[in-house]
Amino acid sequence: MTIDWPEKFARKGHELFLSGLPIALHCHHYNMNLQKTLETSLGSEGVLLLYTAAEESSHAGFTSFLEHHPKIVTAKSKLELASTSYQYCGLGIINFTKIGPEGGIVTSPHSHHVTGWLAKFGKRQNVGCFFTGGWVAGVLAAIYNKHIGYFSVDELECKMSLSKECVFEVKIA
């Protein structure tokens, strides 16, 4: 099945919609400064805010996306669509090859957030892909018909701290 991605984007004046839902597009300057501000001002609470916002939006967005494509029924196809969606939205490359309804491992060799963070702030001492972790949790809950918060995602290795790739562990919360 082929997704007509340009058809999925609709513009009404200055507003953009993806599969019927309003979306915001931001460059790495905005996104990395947002993350830095949240981390600096709120600490772990700011990290959680970023994670849960990404989780909620990816869950709502991907649920809507799947409702528009009722012929995509297998988990494997939905995971492929999620990966393509992540890439098409400019977020990067994400691999769901070791994932199932009980969780597993997700990897990302390239991402908008890693490239943006390293360009603006340089190497981190800790993992930093909180948006991606939340995005993964939300999209997997949508794929496996679970509620928000069903999965917890922890990043084990991160390219922001110069690991080879970002590695996320997914567990049932």
What residues contact 84, with CB distance under 8 A and at least 6 apart? 3
Tell which positions 133-162 bind Zn ion, by CB under 5 A. Answer: 158
Name the minimum Å distance from CB 92 to Zn ion.
Answer: 10
Contact between 32 and Zn ion by CB under 5 A: the answer reads no
Comparison of 10 and 162: residue with beta carbon closer to Zn ion: 162
Distance in angstroms (rounded) separating the CA atoms of residues 97 and 79:
9
Name the minimum Å distance from CB 17 to Zn ion.
Answer: 29
Comparison of 91 and 166: residue with beta carbon closer to Zn ion: 166
Distance in angstroms (rounded) separating the CA atoms of residues 138 and 94:
14
Contact between 94 and Zn ion by CB under 5 A: the answer reads no
Token match 């012929």: residue?
71
Name the minimum Å distance from CB 11 to Zn ion.
Answer: 32
Comparison of 123 and 171: residue with beta carbon closer to Zn ion: 123
Tokens of 59: 């869950």
How does DSSP assign 33-64, residue by residue?
HHHHHHHHHHTHHHHHHHHHHHHHHHHHHHHH
Contact between 129 and Zn ion by CB under 5 A: the answer reads yes
